Amino acid sequence: MAGAGLLLGSLSAAAAPGPSPHPAAPPTARYWVRLRHKAGVQFSPAAYFSPAAQARRQRQHLPACDSTDFPVRPDFVRQITAVADSVTLVSRWFNAVACRATPGQAARLRRLPGVRSVEPWPVQTPVVASTKQANERGTMTISADDRQLARRQTASLGGAAFQQAGFRGQGLRIAIFDVGFLGAAQHPAFQRLLAEKRLVATHDFVRNRPNVFVSGTHGTEVLSCIAGLLPDGTPLGLAPQAEFLLARTERLNREIYAEEEAWLAAAEWADRNGADIINSSLGYTDRRYFPEQMNGRTSLVARAAELAVRKGILVVNAAGNDGEDPDWRTIGTPADADSVLAVGGLDPDTYLHIDFSSYGPSADRRVKPNVIAFGTVLAAAPGGYVRTQGTSFSSPLLAGFAACAWQQNRSLTVMQLFDQLQRCADLYPYFDYAHGYGLPQAAALLRPAAPAPRPRPSVDFVRQDTVLAVLIRPEAAVIPAQVLPLYSDSVTLVGGTRNTTVPAVGREELAPPLNKPGGNRPAQSQPPAEADPGLVPLVRPGYLYWHVADGRGVLRSYEVREVTQRAVLQIPLRTLRPGDTVRVCYRGLTQSYLVP
């Protein structure tokens, strides 16, 4: 064999100087071809859209169709197909065609009469994506601690209030875009979902085939955080009675631009098939963009998400897992889009921002993330159940919450629902760029419309010579004792040697921090307990949240600190500017001080 190798090498060297009988074909690249118009096309919305899609538009007082729903002119597509190397996507929404072509073919495409522009995608080499994980295997052995986590991930959102009202997502249709749903078709967590035929449709947009139960387990875990059940019937998410559309839009361990095309194709498919909500536990960041491009207008996928919202679909998207990445830290796209509900991660042990969750704001300084949910969950995976982490799982917890909220009032438009989801969060109207408006609460959303009595202030602002002091009022200084769990295998979570300092979360780099946090952080904490006999009642920590906003409402600094004394905060006046607003949220009440 060695001799053969040498012989082949010498033949290659001898042949090198001569002309090749078959010159190498010029390389192809990916192009986005925008078309001029849709003149003359015929379209019947009743024939194209499913009954569920038609009903969604009627509920939200949207037209039966608009020009973005019309098909792309077939003659334009034929002309492009005849010139390009291959066509990979035809988009009605954008009246555009994605294709692969050589530079010479791209030049010919630009001369076609129906073509408005031909734009190259930036060159990008596929690499391992930092936010994606290898397939996980579960176990049917569920500890008391894991069972407690499963109950808390829904109870933290007030899930019992939805259950008592009979809201479990019935009548809502949720589309999930992910890398694959390996094992979901056989998993006991979805036995009822499959038996009741509430899996409406599936499609793999990577390989253009119906089967999505391939490639990765990430989608299986995400689905379980909306519709999964433990063997004893404990729900892992808040909408186990919803209907589902499953779309594979991602390649495992790779990030390439074709995935954004697949996301767009899946969104058009979800719209046609009547999706009310899209859950997208995906994000695109430094593999193809710069942080300053996270403005909701640059990426194809952000523009596609915005258009989905215009069709009456709520888009819920994970904020991202780059909070500890010094080169990025910020949200990814499409979470950057203005009308996309970006969901950050919450630490179940502290009820503070979980370290890996990406920070806001968007590049144009809008509030992101919008809300938060547990970033550590118990989820279904092939073989059983697994404890896993990521804003990928915060997002479906909120998608299930949104389904119940919409079930309660189907007449809401998508942006009215978006607004309610922010307003029912436990920090609202306070916000910061780590927690958004906080953790949505079902009880606040279900509360009667009659105005509640105005609560008494919990803090006082006292302007002194050089500082603005924030003092806890005496009547708000009584903090109830916590009731700790008694499970034997949870002992390590409520004691031990872990670091117990409250982290300084997400201060903006535009201004130096005004104070340093201190004190101890409590172990395992939670909002006031609901009427659930299987859930250990715990009291939420008495954190004080505060920020400094400029006259445009953009935060210059923010911090969370544990309250250990009534004189909780002193802000040097030299760090404040005229027109700034200092906001403090303590025990559910937000108060403001306007700097003269």
Q: How far apart are CA 279 and CA 177, in angstroms?
A: 6
Q: How far apart are CA 165 and CA 235, in angstroms?
A: 16
Tokens read off for 308: 């989905």
User: By the 8 A CB rule, do 179 and 252 touch?
Assistant: yes
- What is the SS3 assignment for 19-85? CCCCCCCCCCEEEEEEECCCCCCCCCHHHHCCHHHHHHHHHCCCCCCCHHHCCCCHHHHHHHHHHCC
Q: Among residues 133, 138, 225, 210, which one has the least CA distance to residue 179? A: 133
**Long-range contacts formed by 456-460: CB under 8 A, 24+ apart:** 457/589, 457/591, 458/586, 458/587, 458/589, 458/591, 459/544, 459/568, 459/584, 459/586, 459/591
How are beta strands 115-120 and 199-204 bridged, if at all? unpaired
Q: How far apart are CA 146 and CA 130, in angstroms?
A: 26
Amino acid at 26: P
User: By the 8 A CB rule, do 93 and 264 touch?
Assistant: yes
Q: Among residues 59, 223, 158, which one has the least CA distance to residue 404? A: 158
Catalytic residues: 178, 218, 392
Q: What is the CA radius of gyration of the chain?
A: 27
Tokens read off for 556: 């210059």
